[in-house]
Structure 1
């Protein structure tokens, strides 16, 4: 896919016929921000009514694989979104935040000196399989027609409905215990899995607290992050060539 894009992606590409653009979403951007950016690029190329959508939301504080569907490829959104995802999660033990990530400051601290690498690996293995997960209150889940985060920001109590997810594998990539409470975990999971909630549950199972300090989606279905396009590269490929200035021979 990437070789195809590198070779054939250009301003005169037949986008209406359909194209899946694997984008490496930058930090701080919402998934909708990326869709708007691609839609703007399409309009500059004259595709004013072309459809653009994404297959699988990434939080603003997450980076990595975001599949942008253009033209007829928007019909593939549900299929692409249903495929398994792989994440690299940076987690700090011993502290929680209301959003389970760095969107909010730490609200509670917990002991973590009792936690060992062996215990972390044992608990991680227990996450594998089908299970029910409670989504974060600060999420885009809809409750009675409103987003859950709207209730949370207004200070209202919210009862989140548990969702069935599947975690296929977990692997402890780095562990700074016992000198530091920081971990990096690779997680392969199903659609609908909240890695922020995974971090929350990991902390609880370790008789402590935990929150995400970084998150990168490294794969979505068959699309890997090392084969994704940056927005800068995409814009460069879709920029019309500068007009040639003819000069009169002397």
Structure 2
């Protein structure tokens, strides 16, 4: 049994892993694979990533699941790309483009000015395509049936919002925000403020608090570790957080 297997099987100890989630998987898919590969029964994640997003996912296992809030409440950092001139029901590319608009009037100075307006505390409306519950059901289940429900805006804080690239209609950015912030909604709101619409086309979470994706392990590495069945103590320490 490898060092990693021994660690994951030690339910008395509990553990925390930094995972670099790939595009295409849900956050629960990652937990399911950990359970299947290593026999982990109790596990949870500290902050959902959409299937179309990649990057840092903090997984708590065993006794450490009681400390999920310790990580969930931390600020998150993302890098992303939005496309101006389009709108989708989900605010990203999970759903088809529903409207196209002209972006010829958007300038880099105008974009920077709009970005500045979105820094600070604000109320943000959660998207219909989200896991926010309404009468016990996630909103996305209503959205997939074509229903649009009234939602309550939530207080969030955008601590930093930096324009890192502009090649119309593509806009690249970096954002540091509080928990509960929907970057899809941020992109949609920026598009509305510009008057041309926008949808998120790529998103990667790079940091949660002081924990960075550079110190995370991929699912491929985890699977290879299990298959190789070799001691990998040094490598495991790179993406484990001490309990």
Superposition TM-score, scaled by structure 2 size: 0.89
Find the aligned partners of 1:139 and 1:237 in 2 and give their Cα distance. Answer: 34
Runs of 4+ in 1 over 4 A off after TM superposition: none
- Larger gyration radius, structure 1 or structure 2: 1
Q: What is the DSSP-based 3-state SS (H/G/I as helix, E as strand, rest coil) of the residue aligned with 1:204? A: helix
Check whether the contact 1:9–1:238 (CA below 8 A) recurs between aligned residues: no
| Cα distance in structure 2, aligned partners of 1:26 and 1:241 | 24
Cα distance in 2, alignment partners of residues 157 and 69 from structure 1: 34
Q: What is the CA–CA distance in structure 2 between the aligned matches of 1:86 and 1:240, rounded to whole Å?
A: 34
Q: How far did residue 110 of structure 1 move?
A: 1.3
How far does residue 9 in structure 1 lie from its aligned partner after superposition? 4.9
Per the alignment, do residues 142 and 82 of structure 1 end up closer, same or farther by CA in structure 2, a change over 3 Å counting? same
**Equivalent in the alignment of 2:199:** 211
- 1:193-228 deviations in whole A, cap 9, x for unaligned? 000000000001111100011010011112111111
From 106, 129, 134, the counterpart of 2:97: 106
Q: How many residues align?
A: 227
Between the aligned partners of 1:52 and 1:76, the Cα distance in structure 2 is 11
Match for residue 19 of structure 1? Answer: 15
Unaligned runs of 5+ in 2: 231-243
CA distance in 2, matches of 1:18, 1:53: 12
Counterpart contact for 2:128–2:148, Cα < 8 Å: no
1:25-64 to 2 correspondences below 5 Å: 25-43=21-39, 50-64=41-55
Q: CA RMSD in A?
A: 1.5
The TM-score normalised by the length of structure 1 is 0.87
Q: Kindly tell me: are residues 12 and 239 of structure 1, through their superposed partners in 2, closer, same or farther at Cα, counting changes over 3 Å?
A: farther
Pairs within 5 Å for 1:54-203: 54-176=45-167, 180-203=168-191
Q: Secondary structure at the match of 1:234?
A: helix
Q: Which digits, 9 at most, give the CA deviation of each residue in 1:139-184, with x for residues without a partner?
A: 11101111111111111231121111011001111111xxx21011
Matched-pair contact (CA < 8 Å) for 1:15–1:70: no
Alpha-carbon distance in 1 for matches of 2:53, 2:110: 27
